[in-house]
Amino acid sequence: MTPEAIHGALQQRFGQAVTAFEADAIDPTVTVEASAIHDVGAFLRSEPGLLFDSLMCLSGMDYGEETSSLGVVYHLHSTSLRHTITLRVEVPRQDGVVPTVCDIWRTAEWHEREAFDLFGMRFDRHPDHRRILLPDDWEGHPLLKDYQVQEFYQGIRVPYEGDPPEIGMDVYRFQDREDPV
Amino acid sequence: MLQYFRNIWEGFWTPLVGLSLTWRKLFTPAVTMQYPEERWELPINSRMQLFVNMDDCIGCLQCERVCPVQCISIDTVKAVPGEVEEATTGHKKRLHVTKFDIDMVKCCYCDLCTFPCPTECIYMTPSFEDSSPDRYGLVYHFVNMTPQHAAELEEKARQFDEAEAAKKSAKAAEASATATA
Amino acid sequence: MCAMARQTAGDELGISYERQGDDLVLQMGPQHPSTHGVLRLEIVTDGELVKHITPHLGYLHRCFEKHAEAMTYPQVIPYADRMDYLSAMNQELAYVLAVEKLMGLKAFPDRLEYIRVLMAELQRIASHLLAIGTYGLDIGAMTPFFWCFRDREKILDLFEWVSGARLLYNYLWVGGVAHDLPAGYTDRVMEFVAYFEPRVQELNSLLSSNKIFIERVASIGILTAEDAISYGIGGPNLRGSGVKWDLRKEEPYGIYERFDFDVPVGTGEFGVLGSAWDRYIVRVREMLESLKIIRQVVDQMPGGDPNEAMPRRIRPAKGEAYLRTESPRGELGFYLVSDGTEKPFRCKARSPCFTAISALNAMNHGGLLIADAVAVVGSLDIVLGEIDR
């Protein structure tokens, strides 16, 4: 099925929830309402003629401070019908909530945890909603464009402030280096 | 029952096949080397320690800019016209390089710095056996310039700039004077 | 289930050894020889049986994605190398192809494409050799480990000759390579191929057909095909479950459609389909297929300058692209978003090991022993550098 046909099927089924379609993009992308993503996913997964049984990649996105929205991008592929589509949802920067799709594609479970860990949007009804790459008690979500690193983590200074004072350096300072070739 | 005895037989026989192989390997020459005494030949473009041929460096900062880990730090001072030398490649050395430090502890040996160099004065050498008791021992200083000397050069450049500026303003004043006259 | 296990464990940070009822929570790792890196497995056990495994990641997190946003496109390549340091060429290839897709570059000299395939396949053999060797070591077979490393050294020598480095190459660039192949390189490659083919047979008689090894691994860690697809697992782990799926065949990137090779799949000839042994033997057979590809590459290697079409400035137009390739560990994808500057706006790496380790619980159908957990983790061939990024 062509991306246009997939978009048509989605629009027919969900109407207003499908907000935009970029047909000219390198990977044709359908933008849907965040609240509808679970239903859209279930539809794409089970509808005969679509059968998207594999979620290739789920990425969090930060579209920058000026747009003030975060996003989640789903790259879907059907192993039986060999077609591909990209879905995108956008949520507000503060307290964004996306319904989880991990009951549809199991691989989403960890990818959603990763997106939460690095961007901070919540995934509704996720069975194990924890940080995955960073420690549980880390503050902030590092891949945000306006991320400020915390001052201390468990008593350890976090920001890098250049090299410590140069102690014992004079010994090596003006040694003559020869070309070893 | 037959399967049972066959399993026992295979349990004995298949390890024996492997053992006979291992036994045969006992009589083949070893592939290991007695490293400090024996050495293997390194290819010509081996990427080990960096070296800078300061006679050719024109202080263009291209290597510093392309380094993905910022391990090169260079300071330059403008050379006054009488002091401009030529590199062996014919490039004019319009800048005095007062500092050229490479921190080999940070270096990731990616070889990116050697490609943009216009005079090919920075390159990776096949010498890999440099070690140091502390982190600063692997900060290589390729310029042996005392801070006093650097300050002198800077002063000279400043004076030259001032003289140029004075000359220019005088000329401008003269031009405006002739214009009004 | 997981929340329950954590509650059983008691502690806020989940680090404790506590008994409650019949359950005992064991911490395997972070410093454990069989986790192939710094991975902590929280194993809830009932006697000798494993009830639930919770992997805890992040001990090797180096912020690849955050770093990439501060680098220009070519500067990310050394960082991509360091993601999966055991198959750096494949990482570079995936990243470079993604950038090229983003820039819309297509026409490259044939020689460049052939060099890329040659490097990717050599690296695949090297990576599988390490996977097989260390898997034997996990189970207790020590000799194959040394033999595999001996053969892997020869491939690393080849890489060192062409790129100058043994492990982290920074060799494949956007639209080009760092250096052209040195004179006589393909002859050395053919020497290696001739040397290596009998070594695979040796390895088979030493380990693959060893009855003790087969009995140990042929009926544990069973991953069904449905689970594998749903968990997004690719590569040898998916093919071990009997799914004939290889991105080199299904979505040929580069010039893979020009080569003739088979896709070995697990058949469950000893024990159950999708077991640890099936995943192991798929890797062994894949090495032979890679040798087949290398032979064809060397036969057809064209002349010319591989860097003819190298773009001078890498500044993709605004847009986003996702590209996936077949790395030795599975489906490796890069999702790149450009805002029209020289630095990526977003660079997401979709790592194959990340999904593989997430399926750990799906491989426990009851009856998995604590000692088997080691054998199952080993059979997945994970690299923590890629999981944590």
C-beta of residue B92 within 8 angstroms of C-beta of residue B86: yes
Shortest CA gap B43–chain C (Å): 5
> Which chains reach chain C with 3 or more Cβ–Cβ distances below 8 angstroms?
A, B
Q: In this predicted structure, what is the pLDDT of residue A168?
A: 41
CA distance linking residue B73 with residue C354, whole number of Å: 37
Q: Decide if A107 and C230 are in contact by the 8 Å CB cutoff.
A: yes
The answer to whether A166 faces chain B, any CB pair under 8 Å, is: yes
pLDDT tens for each residue of C144-184: 899 899 999 999 999 998 988 888 888 988 888 888 888 88
To probe the interface with A, which of C322, C327, C339, C347 has the most A CB atoms within 10 Å? C322
Q: Flag whether residue C58 sits within 8 Å of chain A, measured between CB atoms.
A: yes
For residue A73, pLDDT over 60 is answered with yes
Q: Do C170 and B15 touch (CB under 8 A)?
A: no
Name every residue in B having a CB less than 8 A away from some CB of A: 49, 51, 53, 125-127, 132, 134, 136-137, 139-142, 144
Q: Answer whether A106 sits within 8 Å of C231, measured CB to CB.
A: yes
Task: Sort strands A84-92 and A97-99 into parallel, antiparallel or unpaired.
Answer: unpaired
Contact yes or no for A75 and C227 at CB 8 A: no
**A148: distance to nearest CA of chain C, Å?**
13
B138 to chain C, closest Cα gap in Å: 20
The edge-to-edge listing of strands for the beta sheet with C49-56 is C19-20, C23-28, C40-46, C49-56
The confidence score (pLDDT) of residue C3 equals 46
For A166, the closest chain B residue by CA position comes to: B136
Provide the pLDDT confidence category of residue C11 given band limits of 50, 70 and 90.
Answer: very low
Alpha-carbon gap: A144 to the closest alpha carbon of chain B (Å): 22
Return the residue in A22, A26, A45, A61 with the most chain C beta carbons within 10 A, the one to mutate for interface testing. A26
Looking at residue C128, its pLDDT comes to 92
The count of C-alpha atoms lying within 13 angstroms of the C-alpha of B130, restricted to the half-sphere facing its C-beta, is 22
CB contact under 8 A, C75 and B66: yes
pTM for this model (two decimals)? 0.88
Ramachandran assignment for B50, one of left (phi > 0), alpha (psi -120 to 50 degrees), beta (any other)? beta
Which of A37-41, A163-167, C61-65, C119-123 is least confident? A163-167
> Which residues between 360 and 389 in chain C have a beta carbon less than 8 angstroms from any beta carbon of chain B?
none
Which residues in chain A are contacts of C355 at CB distance < 8 A? Answer: 107, 110
A172 CA: distance to closest CA in chain B (Å): 6
Residue % of chain C over a pLDDT of 90: 20
A105 has pLDDT over 80 = yes
CB nearest A59 (choices: C66, C324, C348): C348
Q: Check if C359 contacts A (Cβ < 8 Å).
A: yes
Average pLDDT score over residue span A94-101? 87
Q: Please write the tens of the pLDDT for every residue from C46-101.
A: 888 888 888 888 888 888 888 888 888 988 999 998 888 888 999 999 999 999 99
Find the chain A residues whose C-beta atoms sit closer than 8 A to any C-beta of C: 25-27, 29, 53-57, 59-62, 73, 75, 79, 82, 86, 105-107, 109-110, 114, 118, 127-128, 131-136, 142-143
Q: What pLDDT, on a 0 to 100 scale, did the predictor assign at position C23?
A: 79
Given this model, what pLDDT does residue B141 score?
83
**Averaged pLDDT for residues C289-305:** 90
The answer to whether the CB atoms of A174 and B144 lie below 8 A apart is yes
Q: Which residue has the higher pLDDT, C294 or B178?
A: C294
User: Quick one: which H or E segment has residue B77?
Assistant: strand B72-78
- Structure confidence at residue C18 (pLDDT): 53
Judge whether C287 and C129 are in contact, CB under 8 Å: yes
What per-residue confidence (pLDDT) applies to C208? 85
Mean pLDDT across C276-300: 91
**pLDDT, tens digit, for every residue of C319-366?**
889 999 999 988 899 999 998 888 899 899 998 989 988 888 888 887
Beta bridge partners of C320: C337
Q: Does C205 touch chain B (CB under 8 A)?
A: yes
Question: Does C250 sit within 8 Å of A56, measured CB to CB?
Answer: no
- Of the given ranges (C24-38, C137-151, C222-236, C369-383), which has the lowest mean pLDDT? C24-38
- Tens digits of per-residue pLDDT, C256-269? 888 888 899 888 88
Q: Report whether pLDDT(C217) > 80.
A: yes
Q: Would the CB atoms of C179 and B45 count as touching at under 8 Å? A: yes
Residue A164 contacts B where some CB pair is shorter than 8 Å? no
- Please check whether residue C79 touches B, CB under 8 A: yes
**CA distance, residue B80 to nearest chain A CA (Å):** 26
- Of the partner residues C168, C202, C210, the one whose CB lies closest to the CB of residue B14: C210
C-alpha angle C100/C105/C110, rounded to 5°? 100
CA distance A13 to chain B (A): 48
pLDDT, average across residues C236-248: 89
Q: What percent of chain C has pLDDT over 70?
A: 95
Q: Please say if the pLDDT value at position A181 is more than 60.
A: no
Output the six-digit token pair for C20: 């409650």
Q: What is the complex's ipTM, to 2 decimals? A: 0.84
What's the whole-number mean pLDDT along residues A119-129? 87
What pLDDT is attached to residue C370? Answer: 85
Is the domain spanning A3-134 CATH 2.60.40.10? The answer is no
Nearest chain A Cα distance for residue C301, angstroms: 31
Average pLDDT over residues A71-84: 88
Can you give the pLDDT at residue C33? 77
Q: Do B21 and C202 touch (CB under 8 A)?
A: yes
CA C15 – CA C21 distance, rounded (Å): 18
Candidate from C153, C164, C206 with C-beta closest to B43: C164
Least confident segment among B37-46, C9-18, C29-38, C68-77: C9-18
Q: In the prediction, which pLDDT does C21 show? A: 66
Best C75, C155, C157, C159 residue to mutate vs chain B (most B CBs within 10 Å): C75
Alpha-carbon distance of C28 to C388, in angstroms, equals 17
Residues of B in contact with A179 (CB under 8 A): 51, 53, 125
- Alpha carbon separation from B66 to A60, B117, C75, C84 (Å, rounded): 29, 10, 7, 23
Q: Which residue has the tokens 């902030």?
A: A140
Option in A166, A174, A181 nearest B136 (CB): A166
Mean pLDDT over A10-25 rounds to: 83
- Which residue of chain A has the CA closest to C5? A128
Report the chain A residue with the minimal C-alpha distance to residue C64: A143
Residue C164 touches partner B, C-beta closer than 8 Å: yes
Closest partner residue to A27 (CB to CB) among C13, C250, C320 is: C320
Q: Is the pLDDT of residue C30 over 70?
A: yes
More confident residue, A44 or B134: A44
Q: What does the angle CA C325 – CA C330 – CA C335 come to, to the nearest 5 degrees?
A: 45
Write out residues in chain B with pLDDT < 50, as ranges.
none
- Whole-number Å distance between alpha carbons of C74 and C205: 44
Q: Which of A62, A79, A127 sits opposite C229 (nearest CB)?
A: A79
Residue B40 to residue A47: CA distance in whole angstroms: 62
For residue C129, what pLDDT is reported?
A: 92
- Domain ranges in chain A are 3-134
- Predicted confidence (pLDDT) at residue A174 exceeds the cutoff of 60: no
B7 CA to chain C: closest CA distance, Å?
8
| Peptide linkage before C30 cis (omega within 30 of 0) | yes
- Rounded to a whole number of angstroms, the distance from the CA of B141 to the nearest CA of chain A is 7
